[in-house]
Amino acid sequence: MAKETKEGITVSKEKDFSEWYTQVVTKSDLADYSPVSGCMIFKPYAYAIWEKIVATVDKKIKKMGVQNAYFPLLIPEKLLNKEKEHVEGFSPEVAWVTHTGKSKLEERLAIRPTSETIMYEAYARWIRSWRDLPLRLNQFNSVIRWEFKNPVLFLRTREFLWNEGHTAFATKKEAEKECTDILNTYYDVLKDLLALHSVKGKKTEKEKFAGAEYTISTELFMPHGRAIQGPDAHHDGQNFAKAFGIEFLDEKEKKQHVWQNTWAISTRVIGILIAAHGDDKGLVLPPNIAPNQIVIVPIIFKKEGEKVLKKAKELVKQLKEHNVILDDRDYSPGWKYNEWELKGVPLRIEIGPNDLKKKQVIIVRRDTGKKEIVKENKVKEVVHKLLEDMQKNLYKQSEKIFTSKKTKAATMSALQKVIKQKKFAEVHWCGETTCEETIKDKTEGAKILNIPFEQPKKVSNCVCCKKQGKHQVIVAKSY
Amino acid sequence: MAKETKEGITVSKEKDFSEWYTQVVTKSDLADYSPVSGCMIFKPYAYAIWEKIVATVDKKIKKMGVQNAYFPLLIPEKLLNKEKEHVEGFSPEVAWVTHTGKSKLEERLAIRPTSETIMYEAYARWIRSWRDLPLRLNQFNSVIRWEFKNPVLFLRTREFLWNEGHTAFATKKEAEKECTDILNTYYDVLKDLLALHSVKGKKTEKEKFAGAEYTISTELFMPHGRAIQGPDAHHDGQNFAKAFGIEFLDEKEKKQHVWQNTWAISTRVIGILIAAHGDDKGLVLPPNIAPNQIVIVPIIFKKEGEKVLKKAKELVKQLKEHNVILDDRDYSPGWKYNEWELKGVPLRIEIGPNDLKKKQVIIVRRDTGKKEIVKENKVKEVVHKLLEDMQKNLYKQSEKIFTSKKTKAATMSALQKVIKQKKFAEVHWCGETTCEETIKDKTEGAKILNIPFEQPKKVSNCVCCKKQGKHQVIVAKSY
């Protein structure tokens, strides 16, 4: 038997989240650092997760009538400068191409931080009449935003993968309906695929997307007390339409500007997935997103080895819809258990000579660690049930993190205390940016995440200025 | 009825291929130019074709054991410089990032022209033992190569989409087997999906990939007498392994360098597809690659309109596996016929009040233009047969272009004549680069495309130096 060793996770999630996170990501073979600071390598295991997210989003948005396309990676500087707020938001982080081969370019080219400007230049040429609307295009690609904060694999990187939808409608009403539909779609992807609880709401003026009329977002809550923004959707009103001259003749032959949206889900959600579900043994993957739902570990002794292996192979066939791994490498069973736990495979099936005799297998769940002896003829049925249970259980746990750490705060000192305790504060707010900024200052950086769509009937006074509040909001430290 | 007009193709493919090509690409809504010279926009119609190619290649390579991953877009200059031939081949076309935000970078970053260098830096860290091999990774992404020749949509652009496979094996034998398998896979994609005939062979030393030991390629032949290189595969030997220090301990605990391959299919094949099959009415799409295989045009008169439309909708359901379009817009049938012919939809089904009475439809094939009256209850069966026939017929036509234009040339003057006639010359060659260069000089730029795997039993004297020839090769002007 091979004597290779592989170190497991050496710190606890609760005691040192940041070290725990890095160990899980790198040791479970999801990702690696690259020689370009802040840019990461998505290894096959993480990329397989991303492919599942892409396939799911792709199917959903195509069903809604969105089409995929591909626009150039490089954007001329003058195009990027067309929408004032947009360029102010993005230019501090733009990577600039200035030379090609040995020649200096006449005009600098930005690597897309997002593609509004390169797409809307074309929209302005393509859209002529109401018949050309809606125009709903999406791209799956990568973008570069040269952040200067400390990078964190998946969660804060200078390059990330995403989808970016950019749509144009004849009316504000249609555009706003799409914006909501898309956010609901993303919410469902978080819930059903990634087993992640999130809170939908509207971003504050201060936190909205650069160039948007407003932004709606999903906000997620991590066990170590930080919030992370999930996928979002922006209603751009006619801001870009006016900056780029995207006009159409309506049915009455009247010239109008289009109404637009922008929306995205990124590989950041993989980081959220890891942070939310992982435990001290490593990754825990919800069955619906796991590249492999089951690993079968045959316990092979010389004598009975062949028979056990034969049975294991039968099981692989029987369970093939679950993308089963058969681990028949010459490592010890214990070593294998550790490895697959580290990688977060939802179910492990153990089968040895004794089980063979008793016509049974042992099934172990990754989330609870619970072992179950299952009769051979019941395996399919039990596997199905366990996977369903585990998906539900992980969602419930994710929800529980939020509900158990959410604490009301009516005064600034109460708010400060909640944030210090690494909890999420539910506060009332007057809606003024000055109070929003004061909250941030007095809590050492906690932010209003969004204004949840679900609001109480009555809102009390603002936690900051004590005037009548307008919204109930959640304040937390976030990535 | 709407009075919009859309101009068809105004030049003939035979008389002015280049103008014809541009018109087909832009008028059929496949692609558009962008404000960045040489970079193009892949509109949804072209992107849907690319998605089909990606899905097919993805499935085939995954079945072979290749995994997808994603490596950073940006490559530090010193990494790009590690393999001498490689950097010499690519650096004249590299787009350089020198600034981010307002800061100047300490080291320039190249936008990947190809990813060997950024991937192999990681391979050197990841590969330790024979147990880690083979390592077979692939990416679907875009690359930038800042060519200075005149751009042609799809065929010669500064950014294109592709797959890039980069693999490492313990033995040369395994690596070479993969290299051949991959080329055969690409050949099948060209043949079965795109209905394109190609010639497999080995590139000459002069034309091989920068950094490879040898390159094997598919070469395709266009009706206007130019050749285009299709997807290819490179066996890199241990060149990169030595430059990047990719070593492993073999089963006898001996240190060895890995053996590597690199392989790619790009959006260039969409250009080949257009050039090969299109006609004076526009695009002709082989059924297997067409985003929509059938368009149904109901002939709607006031009285019988509803009935006709109802029947058309029934047909859509019946034929849904073919991704049918129902064109019930208020344009004239003739206008619609032109539009769908321009877009190359394989089959058109016309149905009017008369057909309804006679329980029949009219089916028109895009490649031959042949009309057929088909009884309602036979539609499914006939459609199936016609699509199959059309796919085969287009492949045969593509093959015929090659065989009908391929002409033997035993002397340099015969060769010059063949090239002037815009044909493909089959010549014998001694294998020396000097003769290869002379051929190019004396034919105003015609090249040896590759050394076909299929060789005659006896090879005559070199067309250039008259010494004993080594190979039969095909010489043509190419993109």
pLDDT of residue A5: 55
Contact A41 B137 (CB under 8 A): no
Task: Give the closest-approach CA distance of B68 to chain A in angstroms.
Answer: 6
pTM: 0.96
pLDDT of residue A310: 94
pLDDT of residue A400: 96
Architecture of the domain whose range is B17-277? 2-Layer Sandwich (3.30)
User: Which of B95, B100, B141 comes nearest A94 by C-beta?
Assistant: B100
Window 45-104 of A: residues touching B by CB (8 A cutoff) are 47-48, 50-51, 67-76, 79, 91-102
pLDDT of residue A6: 63
Q: Which of A13, A407, A11, A24 is nearest to A224 (CA)?
A: A13
- Chain A, nearest residue to B75 by Cα: A36
Task: Give the closest-approach CA distance of B415 to chain A in angstroms.
Answer: 36
Question: Residue A272, SS3?
Answer: helix
User: Which of A69, A95, A146 comes nearest B44 by C-beta?
Assistant: A69
Domain boundaries, chain B: 17-277, 294-386, 405-476
Residue B460 near residue B467, CB atoms below 8 Å: no
The topology (CATH level 3) of A294-386 is: Rossmann fold (3.40.50)
Contact B92 A73 (CB under 8 A): no
pLDDT of residue A330: 87
Report helix angle B412-420 to B433-442, nearest 10. Answer: 50
Task: Give the closest-approach CA distance of B97 to chain A in angstroms.
Answer: 4
Q: Which of A274, A285, A268 is nearest to A391 (CA)?
A: A285
A456 has a chain B CB within 8 A of its CB: no
User: Which of A68, A108, A118 comes nearest B34 by C-beta?
Assistant: A118
Window 131-170 of B: residues touching A by CB (8 A cutoff) are 131, 137, 141-142, 144, 146, 148, 159, 161
Q: Rounded CA gap, A73 and A111, in Å?
A: 6
Contact A98 B98 (CB under 8 A): yes
Contact B68 A51 (CB under 8 A): yes
pLDDT of residue B5: 55
Q: Rounded CA gap, B153 and B276, in Å?
A: 15
pLDDT of residue B303: 76
pLDDT of residue A128: 97
**Burial class of B337 by CB neighbour count within 10 A (0 to 12, 13 to 18, 19+):** middle
Task: Give the closest-approach CA distance of A324 to chain B in angstroms.
Answer: 15
Q: Which of A424, A71, A93, A32 is nearest to B159 (CA)?
A: A71
Contact B47 A70 (CB under 8 A): yes
- Chain A, nearest residue to B88 by Cα: A101
CATH match for B405-476 among 1.10.3720.10, 3.30.110.30, 3.40.50.10440, 3.10.150.10: 3.30.110.30
pLDDT of residue B6: 63
Mutation choice for B interface testing from A29, A52, A67, A74 by most B CBs within 10 A: A74
- Chain A, nearest residue to B50 by Cα: A69
Question: Residue A279, SS3?
Answer: strand
Residues in chain A with pLDDT < 50?
1-3
User: Which of A70, A131, A148 comes nearest B161 by C-beta?
Assistant: A70
Window 321-360 of A: residues touching B by CB (8 A cutoff) are none
pLDDT of residue B18: 95
Contact A99 B96 (CB under 8 A): yes
pLDDT of residue B1: 44
Question: Residue A12, SS3?
Answer: coil
Q: Which of A387, A391, A389, A377 is nearest to A322 (CA)?
A: A387
Can you give the pLDDT of all 479 residues of chain B as single tens digits? 444 556 799 999 999 999 999 999 999 999 999 999 999 999 999 999 999 999 999 999 999 999 999 999 999 999 999 988 888 889 899 999 999 999 999 999 999 999 999 999 999 999 999 999 999 999 999 999 999 889 999 999 999 999 999 999 999 999 999 999 999 999 999 999 999 999 999 999 999 998 899 999 999 999 989 999 999 999 999 999 999 999 999 999 999 999 999 999 999 999 999 999 999 999 999 999 999 999 999 998 777 788 999 999 999 999 999 999 999 998 999 999 999 999 999 999 999 999 999 999 999 999 999 999 999 999 999 999 999 999 999 999 999 999 999 999 999 999 999 999 999 999 999 999 999 999 999 999 999 999 999 999 999 999 999 999 999 999 999 98
Contact A95 B91 (CB under 8 A): no
pLDDT of residue B479: 83
